[in-house]
Amino acid sequence: MSELIKMRDVTKVYPLGQTEVHALRGVNVSIKKGEFISIIGPSGSGKSTLMHIIGCLDVATSGTYFLRGKDVSKMDGNQLADIRKEFIGFIFQDFYLLPDVPAWYNVSLPMIYNRVAPKERKKKAVVILESVGLGDRVNHLPNQLSGGERQRVAIARALANEPEIIIADEPTGNLDSVRGEEILEILSDLHEKGKTIIIVSHEKYVAERGKRKIYLKDGRVEGKN
């Protein structure tokens, strides 16, 4: 497998009044194409900050970050947006679905930014929803869906632009263990199909799905296996 992500000596410092919060302290991470990675750590360990930098939602204070051989750390906001649009799909704990539109429309939203024609957007969204077991829920509003079904819609939305990388931030955090396992099965299936999966979690049963684990503590990588 080729190297997809390479981070060297990455730091992230947030100003807080007259002090500074050091969220990441010289992090070195390498992830190969097609890996299933778990990023693990207690609250305040820096795992969410690391996820945001990997996902090009934020930039490092110092250090280098190469994604697919490109130095992301030197890109501006528009360039980072293009990277997210083309290569990265996000799944969050709180789903972040628009409440007043049906499932298929929520899934189609990323395609708008890729200028996919309206009829094609709906057709593709329905196919993706069918792939995550929601073929009979395409016209349902989020409040007509269970928590597990809403997270499936969120996964389908993350897949809309056929990204190379899926980043899941506490994807089972608002679900019971049964629904959580169903979501993890979908992510495992996506990994089997060649997607690079990065899960951020403090839950042991979630983290165990990763084929390789990165442990963070106090902004530093404490171990990898």
For residue 75, the domain's CATH number is 3.40.50.300
Phi, psi dihedrals of residue 89, rounded to the nearest 5°: -115, 140
Per DSSP bridges, beta strands 3-16 and 62-67 are antiparallel
Question: Quick one: how far is CA 37 from the chain centroid?
Answer: 11
**pLDDT at residue 18, as a whole number:** 85
Print burial letters for 122-153: b (CB count within 10 Å at least 16), e (below 16): bebbbebbebbebeebbebbbeebeebbbbbb
pLDDT at 1: 66
SS3 198: strand
**Tokens describing residue 192:** 């089997």
Predicted pLDDT at 205: 87
Predicted local confidence at residue 118, as pLDDT = 87
| Residue 225: per-residue pLDDT | 74
Distance CA 184, CA 206 (A): 7
All residues at 6 or more sequence positions from 56 whose CB lies less than 8 Å from its CB, including other chains: 67, 72, 75, 80, 81, 83, 84, 88
**What predicted TM-score, i.e. pTM, was given to this entire model?**
0.93
Token pair belonging to 166: 């899926």
> Residue type for 56, please?
C
Tens digit of pLDDT per residue, the chain (225 long)? Answer: 689 999 999 999 999 888 999 999 999 999 999 999 999 998 889 999 999 999 999 999 999 999 999 999 889 999 999 999 999 999 999 999 999 999 999 999 999 988 889 899 999 999 999 999 999 999 999 999 999 999 999 999 999 999 999 999 999 989 998 999 999 999 999 999 999 999 999 888 888 999 999 999 999 998 777
| Count of domains for the chain | 1
How confident is the model at residue 73, as a pLDDT?
87
Cα 82 to Cα 48, 161, 189, 220: the distances in Å are 21, 12, 27, 29
Q: 43: alpha, beta or left, given left = phi > 0 and alpha = psi -120 to 50?
A: beta
Indicate the length of the chain as a whole number.
Answer: 225
Q: Identify the domain containing residue 44 by its residue range.
A: 3-224
The most distant pair of C-alpha atoms in the chain lies apart, rounded to whole Å, by 54
Strands 212-217 and 36-40: parallel
Strand ordering across the sheet containing 19-32: 19-32, 3-16, 62-67, 70-71
